Structure 1
Amino acid sequence: MKEPKDLNVKTIRFPVTIDEKLCKLVKKFSRGKLQLFGQMVEYFHKTGKDPADINDEVLKNTLVKNHDTYIRFIRAQEEKMLIPVKTEVDRMVASQVKIIDSFNSQVLKANRDLLAGQRETDRLLKLIAEKLDDKESLKLKFLYILNYYSKASQNAAPRDKEAFLQEARQHVSKL
């Protein structure tokens, strides 16, 4: 059986200070030096980050770009959807306010007209009540006319009696 060929054929030389830092990372992540080195290379390869870029400008630029993309999306949605919806809602609210105002003014006018009609009816009823005499008042007035005719016609000539009778009829008709 053949032994597997050793893939580790390359060597890197680096200062002791770097080795100390690498050892600390090995302990921290519980990996071997070779494994950690391979993962670091893979990380920079996949992310495209520059290891010299401590402030991670690429990441910042990516975040800013994504942020700008989101803002453009929100503004586009605002233009396409939110503003038209708000405009329509405002128009609908204004329309509803007009309808309510119109309805209220019609109801108020109808109530005023009804109240005026009731007042006029009350006034007419009072006027009718004033013009109508009650039964007792009519009896008294009729008795007064009858007594007047009776006294006036007792000592009067027959032709004057007819005039008194006619006058009594006129007074009775006025009742």
Structure 2
Amino acid sequence: MGNERLRSIKYSEAEASKLEKLALKLGRPKRQVFLQMVEYFYRTKKDPLDINDDMLKATIMRHYKDYVGFIKTQENELLIPTKRDIGRMIDAQKKVITGFGLLAKQNEQMPGLIERQNQYLSGLETNYRRIAQLLKDKEHFKALFLGILESYASARDNLSALGSRKEKEQLLSTTLNQIKML
């Protein structure tokens, strides 16, 4: 402060009170607050009479529009597609859950169905064995019948012209009795 020339400004008691309250609030001396106010208005080129500060409003509006534009861009590029994909994923998960519910019901029914199938297969196996035995018996009876038929044919050939009618009837009766015994 050596060569610095100090100047004085006159102002009313009301302004002095306001300056003192402002300095106390900011925690600085009145002179420093005054110098900072001068520097502020000098740098910002603001008019202290313009309380509404149109330049500040314009700046705030410009930044507001930039922020709104940024948010809308993010909404269109990120949020809306993400929401749509999440909606699809939720629908797919609901289908999976529904499928698991149906699968659980089928799993509950499965032991009964398997038991019924085993019973059916057991019945089929029993019937198959019976049919196989019947076929085996049929083949056995065929062989016996063919044996009886061959013995009848050979006996008839031996009796052909020479045999009496009684012998022929007895041969026929014997053959029929053998077939009945099958």
Bucket of the pairwise TM-score, normalised by the shorter protein: 0.3 to 0.5
Output the TM-score relative to the length of structure 1. 0.48
Output the TM-score relative to the length of structure 2. 0.46
